[in-house]
Chain A
Amino acid sequence: MKKRILILLLALAPALAFGQAGKVKQANRDTQTWRYEIEPVTVGLQGTVVIRVWSFSRNPVIAGEQAKKNAVHGVMFKGIPTLERMPGKKPLVTPEEEVNSGQFLGQFFADGGDYMRYVSLTNSAGGEEVLKVGKEYKVGVVVAVSYNELRSYLESKAVIRSLDSGF
């Protein structure tokens, strides 16, 4: 009996792993197609922005994890909308700059890529908001992005221009 259970588990393991990988890929595709929502939470400490990111996935854990990538992606390409009296921010990277730095940005946003250095705090350890929407979960996580450090890094990699460039 034990043997049968073991064989069954061994047979199921690759299927489970592939299923998980498929969901991660789908989450990455969602990031690339802007399928996430961002809202400001509060004025963070100097040099940081604190935002709530809503991500979508059939697996709430993956959605929670993807929130970190979505937060950096959003700050860079989508901008932060204005909320009541809290002013928003324009995206750090313009569409032209995005096109010019495609290869670098691909590596930057790879799983475990450099983007992780700029997500300094999240409430993902149990504090996230989880909503069930159809067959998916919509997970809201509060993330602090090191905005100034991220901007300096992108300037140093010539992805974006610095304010004093040309002088």
Chain B
Amino acid sequence: MKKIVLTLALALLALTGFSQAKKPTIMVVPSDVWCNMNGYMVEFDNQGAWEKLPDYNAALQSDPDLLLAISKLGEMMAERGFPLKDLGACLRQLRNDAAEMSVTMASDGSDVAESPVDKLKNVAKADIWMQLTYKVNEAGPKRSLTFNLQGIDAYSSKQIAAASGTGTPSFSVELPVLIEESILSNIDNFNNQLQNHFDDMFANGREVALTLRKWNSSPVDFETEFGGDELSFQIEDWMANHTVNGRFSTQDVSENRMIFEQVRIPLYAPNGRAIDTRTWANDLRKELQDKYNIDAKLSMKGLGQAVITIGAK
């Protein structure tokens, strides 16, 4: 009897352990608008066109009010069970990794393999970005703070939560106090919307995007016939069978590419393990290989967009 109870308990434990979805990582960043307003931008020559990018390092090293806002948000999110990824620590980690990579060498003198694409992808990542903007308004001797906090889902690039508003004008309140007040007044509404987003995700799956394209050298394209139908329709059938309630929208189809958006992938595989976009898209890559004998390369753009290129690895 004891053995049966023990076995049951262990089975239940394993099941609950597997049925935990991956907890999203959240990071606070100052918005591009805030960086631009406060002069924390770097300009660079992008093949002849000058472009501006936010300089997070400079902002974090020079602005104590920004640091206060980030740490206050971090404190309040940790209280709700979501300790935030720290932007400053992530940027330091990336710099250290780059320095280490440049001096790492094998005993035969060869260095670590890193493609230009790998280098491009060396950026701070999070599942949800909390994009922060604030601005002090002055009307005579009175000051108020306009505050805007946007939660952006890195998978779908959609705004999933937001809290914004302008505080009550005041004569003598210092900026850090205004920032703290704005965060305290707005964070619960922000978290309510975040909760709705999580509820939707648990009910309807995670929203991601999938792009399929072909190498120029590929002998097959998406209009090639397999088993009486074009490859594009075969892929759409696979999508319908492997998304939550068959939910996805086909944005564009041609002989060279297929673009799917608002693809709702399940949070768990049939064996109960949590899955992410790459794991899910890899099933399609394997299907193309096994069923149609098509080699394909799977790559990721950010966390929520998978790209499968058919014709070669």
A contact set with B: CB distance below 8 Å: 43-44, 46, 84-87, 89-90, 147-148, 161-164, 166-167
CB pair B189–A89 under 8 Å, yes or no, is: yes
> With A162-B81, A166-B21, A167-B23 given, is the CB distance from A43 to B192 under 8 Å?
no
CB pair B181–A43 under 8 Å, yes or no, is: yes
CB pair A148–B189 under 8 Å, yes or no, is: no
Q: Bound state CA distance, A164 and B198, in angstroms?
A: 9
| B194 within 8 Å of A (CB atoms) | yes
- Residue ID in chain B nearest A164 by CB atoms: B81
Query: Which residues of A have CB within 8 Å of B79?
Result: 148
CB pair B189–A163 under 8 Å, yes or no, is: no
How many pairs of residues, A versus B, come closer than 8 Å at their CB atoms? Answer: 52
CB pair B168–A84 under 8 Å, yes or no, is: yes
**Scoring B residues 217 to 240 as 1 if CB is less than 8 Å from chain A, else 0, what string do you get?**
000000000000000000000000
Query: Which residues of B have CB within 8 Å of A46?
Result: 76, 180, 184
Query: Which residues of B have CB within 8 Å of A166?
Result: 20-21, 198, 202
Which among B45-53, B116-124, B159-167 touches the partner chain?
B159-167
| B62 within 8 Å of A (CB atoms) | no
CB pair B191–A163 under 8 Å, yes or no, is: yes
B173 to chain A: closest CB distance in Å? 11
Residues of B73-101 whose CB lies within 8 A of A:
76, 79-82
| B22 within 8 Å of A (CB atoms) | yes
Residues of B138-191 whose CB lies within 8 A of A:
144, 163, 165-168, 180-181, 184-186, 188-189, 191
- Residue ID in chain A nearest B76 by CB atoms: A46
| B195 within 8 Å of A (CB atoms) | yes
Which of A87, A90, A163 contacts B82, CB < 8 Å? A163
When A and B form their complex, which 7 residue pairs have the shortest distance between CB atoms, in order from nearest? A164-B81, A167-B23, A163-B80, A85-B168, A43-B181, A87-B185, A43-B185
Which of A87, A162, A167 contacts B163, CB < 8 Å? A87
Query: Which residues of A have CB within 8 Å of B165?
Result: 85, 87
B136 to chain A: closest CB distance in Å? 15
> With A87-B163, A90-B192 given, is the CB distance from A167 to B20 under 8 Å?
yes
Query: Which residues of A have CB within 8 Å of B184?
Result: 43-44, 46
CB pair A163–B195 under 8 Å, yes or no, is: yes
CB pair A87–B186 under 8 Å, yes or no, is: yes
A17 to chain B: closest CB distance in Å? 42
CB pair B23–A163 under 8 Å, yes or no, is: no
Known A-B contacts: A87-B163, A162-B80. Give 19 more (CB < 8 A). A43-B181, A43-B184, A44-B184, A46-B76, A46-B180, A46-B184, A84-B168, A85-B168, A86-B168, A86-B185, A87-B185, A90-B192, A148-B79, A163-B80, A163-B195, A163-B198, A164-B81, A167-B22, A167-B24
Query: Which residues of A have CB within 8 Å of B194?
Result: 163
Residues of B3-30 whose CB lies within 8 A of A:
20-24
Q: Bound state CA distance, A1 and B189, in angstroms?
A: 67
Q: Bound state CA distance, A87 and B21, in angstroms?
A: 32
Query: Which residues of A have CB within 8 Å of B186?
Result: 87
Q: Bound state CA distance, A44 and B180, in angstroms?
A: 11
Query: Which residues of B have CB within 8 Å of A167?
Result: 20-24, 81, 198
Query: Which residues of A have CB within 8 Å of B180?
Result: 46
Query: Which residues of A have CB within 8 Å of B185?
Result: 43, 86-87
A147 to chain B: closest CB distance in Å? 8
Q: Bound state CA distance, A148 and B81, in angstroms?
A: 13
- Residue ID in chain B nearest A44 by CB atoms: B184
- Residue ID in chain A nearest B267 by CB atoms: A166
Q: Bound state CA distance, A136 and B186, in angstroms?
A: 37
Query: Which residues of B have CB within 8 Å of A147?
Result: 188
- Residue ID in chain B nearest A83 by CB atoms: B168
Query: Which residues of B have CB within 8 Å of A84?
Result: 168
Q: Bound state CA distance, A167 and B83, in angstroms?
A: 13
CB pair A90–B20 under 8 Å, yes or no, is: no
CB pair A164–B80 under 8 Å, yes or no, is: yes
A161 to chain B: closest CB distance in Å? 8
Sampled A-B contacts (16; CB under 8 Å): A43-B181, A44-B184, A46-B76, A46-B180, A46-B184, A85-B144, A85-B167, A86-B168, A87-B163, A87-B186, A147-B188, A163-B81, A163-B194, A163-B195, A167-B23, A167-B198
